């Protein structure tokens, strides 16, 4: 995107430059170049608040700086330099140099540290997961309710309890029957004796 004579790499940067152009137009409409002290305040505030970041805005700051440096009422020491918030060179080492190998070793060390930290976290989480599964299995196996782990044992225990209960009841019933049979047999013998007499 082209703005202010510059071709910007991204549309976002181009839009930022357009916004800075609008700010410049607003300031130019209100600045009184006959009062350098006012221009110095505007210049200082623009630098302090980082109002201009693109080359379009920085060129405007340079224009104000040049104007202020030419003013006899304003000393050069009052006009601060324009700070740049970008780096424009990248220090590159030639392949095979100590600097390049140290940079590579540093990157490898950082990668190994990240891998080691990730492995440690993975091991800790796996141990916690195994402990949780073991706890669930222990609770399930020792619990009284039927579940996937102990349903057969619980059902066998239930049927064994029913069988014991039925056996105990059957025993009681047989004892009562015997008592009644004995009482009934004794009564029959007495009746037979009465009839035979």
Query: Mind listing the pLDDT tens digit of every residue in the chain (197 residues)?
Result: 788 888 888 888 889 999 999 999 999 999 888 889 999 999 999 999 988 989 999 999 999 999 999 988 888 888 999 988 776 666 554 555 566 677 778 888 888 888 898 999 999 999 999 999 998 888 777 776 777 776 777 788 888 999 999 999 999 999 988 888 876 555 555 555 555 55
- Does any domain span residue 108? no
- Does any domain span residue 185? no
- Does any domain span residue 27? yes
pLDDT in tens, 86-103: 766 665 545 555 666 777
- Does any domain span residue 164? no
pLDDT value for 93 = 47
Show Cβ contacts of residue 13 under 8 Å, excluding neighbours closer than 6 positions. Answer: 1, 54
- Does any domain span residue 171? no
Q: How many domains does the chain have?
A: 1
- Does any domain span residue 12? yes
Chain centre to alpha carbon of residue 125:
15
The crossing angle, in degrees rounded to 10, of helices 55-69 and 11-30 is: 30
Can you give the pTM of this predicted structure?
0.45
- Does any domain span residue 113? no
Q: Are 82 and 58 in contact (CB under 8 A)?
A: yes
Q: Is 150 helix (H, G, I), strand (E, B) or coil?
A: coil
Q: Are 36 and 45 in contact (CB under 8 A)?
A: no
- Does any domain span residue 50? yes
What is the domain extent for residue 71? 2-78
């Amino acid at each position: 995107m082209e703005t202010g004579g510059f071709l910007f790499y991204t549309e976002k940067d181009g839009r930022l430059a357009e916004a800075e152009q609008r700010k410049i137009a607003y300031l130019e409409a209100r600045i009184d170049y006959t009062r350098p002290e006012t221009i110095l305040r505007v210049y200082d505030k623009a630098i302090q608040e980082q109002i201009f970041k693109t080359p379009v805005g920085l060129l405007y700051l340079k224009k104000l700086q040049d104007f202020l440096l030419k003013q006899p009422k304003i000393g050069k020491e009052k006009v601060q330099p324009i700070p740049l918030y970008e780096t424009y060179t990248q220090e590159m080492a030639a392949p095979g140099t100590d600097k390049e190998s140290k940079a590579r070793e540093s990157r490898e060390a950082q990668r190994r540290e990240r891998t080691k930290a990730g492995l440690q976290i993975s091991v800790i989480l796996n141990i916690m997961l195994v402990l949780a599964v073991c706890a669930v299995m222990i609770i399930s196996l020792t619990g009284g309710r039927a579940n996937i782990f102990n349903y057969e044992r619980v059902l066998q225990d239930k049927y064994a309890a029913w069988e014991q209960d039925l056996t105990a009841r059957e025993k009681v019933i047989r004892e009562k029957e015997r008592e009644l049979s004995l009482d009934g047999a004794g009564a029959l013998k007495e009746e037979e004796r009465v009839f035979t007499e």
